[in-house]
Amino acid sequence: MPMLAPPARGRPAALAAVMLIVVLSAGGAWRLAQPAAAQPPDRAGRFGFVLGAGAPEQAQALGLPWHLTCCDPGYTPPAGTFAPRFLPIAPPLDGDTLTEVVTGAPRGTVWMIGNEPNVEDSSPPGYGNLSGDGYAQTLHYYDRIIRRIDSTAKLAGPNILNWDTTCNGCPGYPQGRAWTEAMRRAYLARYGGEPPLDIWTLHVYELDWTNFPNGNAGLNIGEIEAMRAWLDQGPGQRGKPLWLTEVGIHWGYPGMRFGEDGRIEPVGDYAYEHVERYMRDVFGWLDANAGRLNIERWFIWAAAIAVPEGFATAYGGIQLFDGAGPDAALTRLGRLYLQLAGLR
């Protein structure tokens, strides 16, 4: 979701506008049964997607039951599908509102606590940009109330942006590992125990605004393995499942330039072969190593046609459909993702 833009031409380096997720209508026809949350996911069930700015029928066309959409805490996924619900962290929901939201949700709901808290310019407001200590307090607050209402609920987080790497050619942000370690120390110090996350979550991108096109599969894989190793190094979090709640690239063109309005423009044709190789390497590796590393789910960004970020004239990431309407066709990247999920 949030991403760091390259410094704008002619003004101080700053974080630019970020990706928007449009919550799709819950009225679309969906055809797959919801997999039981307590069972290990089958191959297709591990391949998820993030809802973008397309028609609900596009999600149906993918044939994948798991999706993410941010950030309405009361969001109810269409029948036969599964989607965690996101909760804000800065500030958190008040007690009465939280009680109402949790009471109205199905038992066993997965609650996503925040979104990229280590990023200052987060989107939407209220879901990121929080210190490790602040997150620890918010997590404890949510844990007490949610589990009192539903003992089967699961808490997932922190949806950290990357683990050891940050970015190249952009203003920067706190390293994911350092932020997470500070959060864990704060929780231990305040409450005498480990952070009560049932599922740990990570966003994986190559944020490089100097070398194009993006899509360093080895770097992404290294980030995932490093976080898994960190979780397993101590008894408190060892063996807990890992979800990759965003996986993708931000710029699939071989170059960029600044236009007259200060926004970046693509240079050259979209590098389909490079992006396809990235997808085969990353999602193929995930499929082969999910069991060994206890990676339950991954969600590709983005599912439908995506809107350009505010700092760009074109969308540079992975696009799975060739239009926004219900009759839009899968792109070659959409067909590849389904092939990797074993559905084509």
pLDDT band for position 305 (cuts 50, 70, 90): low
333, two tokens: 């990247």
The Cα 114–Cα 92 span in angstroms is: 9
Going by C-alpha positions, the residue among 148, 152, 178 that lies closest to residue 164 is 178
Backbone angles phi, psi at 215, to 5 degrees: 125, 55
Q: 175: left (phi > 0), else alpha (psi -120 to 50), else beta?
A: beta
In 266-331, where does DSSP find H-type helix? 272-293
pLDDT band for position 336 (cuts 50, 70, 90): very high
Q: What's the confidence (pLDDT) of residue 311?
A: 87
* Residue appearing with tokens 């797959």: 32
Write the pLDDT tens digit of every residue in 198-232: 999 999 999 999 999 999 999 999 999 999 999 99
Q: Residue type for 61, please?
A: A
Residues 180 and 162 sit within 8 Å (Cβ to Cβ): no
Interacting residues of 266 by C-beta distance below 8 A, sequence separation 6+: 253, 255, 256, 313, 314, 316
CATH 3.20.20.80 for domain 43-340, yes or no, is yes
pLDDT band for position 327 (cuts 50, 70, 90): confident
CA distances from 112 to 159, 168, 248 (A): 8, 28, 20
Cis peptide before 88 (omega within 30 of 0): no
Instruction: Say what the pTM is.
Output: 0.89
Please tell me what DSSP assigns to residue 50.
Answer: E
Q: What's the confidence (pLDDT) of residue 211?
A: 95
Write the pLDDT tens digit of every residue in 103-130: 999 999 999 999 999 998 777 889 999 9
Interacting residues of 62 by C-beta distance below 8 A, sequence separation 6+: 49, 303, 320, 334, 337, 338
Write the DSSP assignment of 81-128 as a string of letters: -B--EEE--SSPPPHHHHHHHHHHSPTT-EEEE-S-TT-SS-SSTTSS
Could you tell me which residues are beta bridge partners of residue 200?
157, 242
